[in-house]
Amino acid sequence: MASSTPIPEGKYVKTANGLTIHYHEAGTGEPVVFIHGSGPGASGYSNFKGNFRWFAERNFHSIVPDMPGFGLASKPTDVEYTLDFFVESLHGFLNAIGVTRSVLLGNSLGGAIALGYTLAHPAEVNKLVLMAPGGVEERETYFQMEGIREMINLFMGGGIDANSLRRLLSKLVYDSSLVTDELVAERLGVYKLQHQGVLATMKVPNMTSRLGEIKCPVLGLWGTKDLFNPVGGAMKILDGCADARFVLVNRCGHWVMVEHRDLFNHTCLDFLSR
């Protein structure tokens, strides 16, 4: 790990609209784009460090970008962090690295970005993997969730330290022993690079009424103890999408890919390989 950055540095690319996107990649084969969630100190590496190399070892091209406002990517202060902004930023990033068609795999906000991207650019998405995705409830419903309330209070209060961040991260998982000192340190380091406008201006619409437009195969995974996104969203995706299946995992919070890594990895491999 480079001493000057809170997470390991990968590669950087500049998009056509001037954003600098930091990303990790590994492997060759069909591209799989791992899209991270939101929150203080979020990054692609933190969300998927236990997954993307495993996929690369099984003949997939794993691509793990930091979305604008997060990780080591650009953090513009003169934009609103809307879903459209994230979708077109991801589109610009994939164009910049020459990826024209891929599997999108997203958690939480990343799941909403994956849904929005598929609706905006359907010809560019082979399959979708969604872990507790946003974008299938009204804003008020999310704000009633225990984890979301604490995240917003901490992020907007500007007083996050290691202890308060550990408490928040512990709400993301069913088993709090997974919140290690290393995880807290890397998230705290990234948080110190962020600004409040990321969450203050974030807007993600409810896309439930448009799910019928998604024709590619969809795999979803959701922890039944999720304190951030209500698990009932799984039924909305099953009802709305033409080709969808879901795995509900008990004793699991918001991070299926972290808490049940082997189940997640092998379930995704089976879906992507067929």
Catalytic (active-site) positions: 254
> Which residue, chain included where needed, has tokens 């998982």?
173
Helix (H) or strand (E) holding 114: helix 109-120
Q: Which two tokens stand for residue 120?
A: 């905006």
Helix (H) or strand (E) holding 204: none
User: What's the angle, vertex CA 29, arms to CA 27 and CA 32, rounded to 5?
Assistant: 80
- Angle of the 83-96 helix axis to the 109-120 helix axis, nearest 10: 70
- CB-CB contact of 271 with 217 (8 Å): yes
- Other Cβ atoms within 10 Å of 3 Cβ, number: 4
Beta strand ranges found along 2-124 (DSSP E)? 11-14, 20-26, 30-35, 60-65, 102-107
Characterize 131-153 residue by residue with b for buried, 16 or more Cβ atoms within 10 angstroms of its Cβ, and e for exposed: bbbbbbbeeeebeebebbebbbe
